[in-house]
Amino acid sequence: MCLQVDRLDVRVPGKSLCAGLTLRLGLGENWAVLGANGSGKTTLLHTLAGLRSADDGRVLLEERDIGDYPHRMRARHLGVLFQDYDTAFPATVLETVLTGRHPYLSRWQWQDDADDVGIAETTLSAVGLAGFEHRRLSTLSGGERRRVEIAAVLAQDPPVLLLDEPTNHLDLRHQIEILRLLTRRRQQRDTLNVLVLHDINLALRFCTHALLLFGDGECRHGELPGILDTETLRDLYGYPIRKYDTADGVFYGPA
């Protein structure tokens, strides 16, 4: 299972976000999507997921145009974690995580199948929310809700995950734990993760590759850490960046 981009153009009115992008993202890889606010990271992710049409070029999943997949079949191959999640619907934590199992249900099958409940409970435990099954979403903190959303997409269990700011609302400990969880899944299950991130150092620590969006149509991509340096990061974020060489590795911060 691989995700391919062939001469992809992504545009919004008056602005090119991505021009002529061609790359192949394979199983066993963690891709970080990096760029300043408004550079098009979320829009690109939605295009990769088939939620919006490419302005030019193609997105292929296993050599097949992403838009040609029926919705249920696509959801079995590819899962999306959105940047924001509407929690207005009165649901419990378990009911929310079980939505990740919908692509596997037959027309008349209920989502409380014992196997599906077991998968949902396992993913909740993996994100540190065992015992939260019957809590209402409205009673949770922002970070707890974010981990519920991550548990739901993990319960979906596709080989490809597109994750828009998975560390959003999470404290330092849970940022590390969730990224470790995704990395273990990539290594043990041979899956592909594409993560929109704002923290350069988390990308360096947990990702194998990076896709850089400069906000003017320019894109660069390659293996980490080779693709990053202070000059590139300065151009990417429009701010001077300092590199720190330590015994634990390289870190970047604002100059």
The model's pLDDT over 92-107, given as tens digits with 9 standing for 90+, comes to: 999 999 999 999 987 6
What value does the mean pLDDT of the chain take?
94
Owner of token pair 């030019």:
56
Task: Tell me the two tokens of residue 140.
Answer: 């949770």
Q: What CATH number does residue 135 fall under?
A: 3.40.50.300
Q: What is the domain extent for residue 78?
A: 2-254
pLDDT band (50, 70, 90) for residue 204: very high
- Closest to 139 (Cα-Cα) out of 81, 90, 86: 90
pLDDT band (50, 70, 90) for residue 181: very high
For strands 78-81 and 160-164, give the pairing. parallel
The rounded distance, in Å, linking the Cα atoms of 36 and 22 is 21
pLDDT digits (tens, 9 = 90+) for 133-180: 999 999 999 999 999 999 999 999 999 999 999 999 999 999 999 999
Question: 173-177 long-range CB contacts below 8 Å, 24 or more apart?
Answer: 174/128, 174/143, 174/147, 175/199, 175/202, 177/127, 177/128
Strand partners, 221: 211
What is the mean predicted confidence (pLDDT) over 178-196? 94
Phi, psi of 78 (to 5 degrees): -145, 130
Residues near 7 by beta carbon (within 8 Å), at least 6 away in sequence: 20, 21, 22, 56, 57, 58
* pLDDT of 111 strictly over 70: no
pLDDT band (50, 70, 90) for residue 188: confident
Global pTM exceeds 0.85 = yes
Q: How many domains does the chain have?
A: 1
Residue 59: helix, strand or coil by DSSP? strand
What is the mean predicted confidence (pLDDT) over 105-122? 80
* pLDDT of 85 strictly over 80: no
Percent pLDDT > 90 in the chain is 88
pLDDT digits (tens, 9 = 90+) for 31-82: 999 999 999 999 999 999 999 999 999 999 999 999 999 999 999 999 999 9
Angle between helices 142-156 and 172-189 (to 10 degrees): 10
Phi, psi of 35 (to 5 degrees): 170, 165
